[in-house]
Structure 1
């Protein structure tokens, strides 16, 4: 990292973190949807926290 400005490093890290979030969010959202009831899934918006149907659905 010799010769790189701290701003370039910060921008690179921010881009990597954004990319990880873009890839990971649909996987997390699918997991959260799998812990909800069908009525909850069909009624927008879907909650962002896991539901109480985790053990029933798995």
Structure 2
């Protein structure tokens, strides 16, 4: 299980949660898991080609 820290600008998508638990085994799975819990967050995390945006660390 991993804890994903949510930056302030994205918290409106997570119901103001600053941390989210995920049981994903990869970054790709984690993004899909977050998208299933919080529709629309993937568009903020990934660019138009599906790559991870530069501010993600």
Shorter-chain TM range is under 0.3
**TM-score normalized with structure 2 length:** 0.22
- TM-score w.r.t. the length of structure 1 is 0.22
More strand by share: 2
Q: Which has the higher helix share?
A: 1
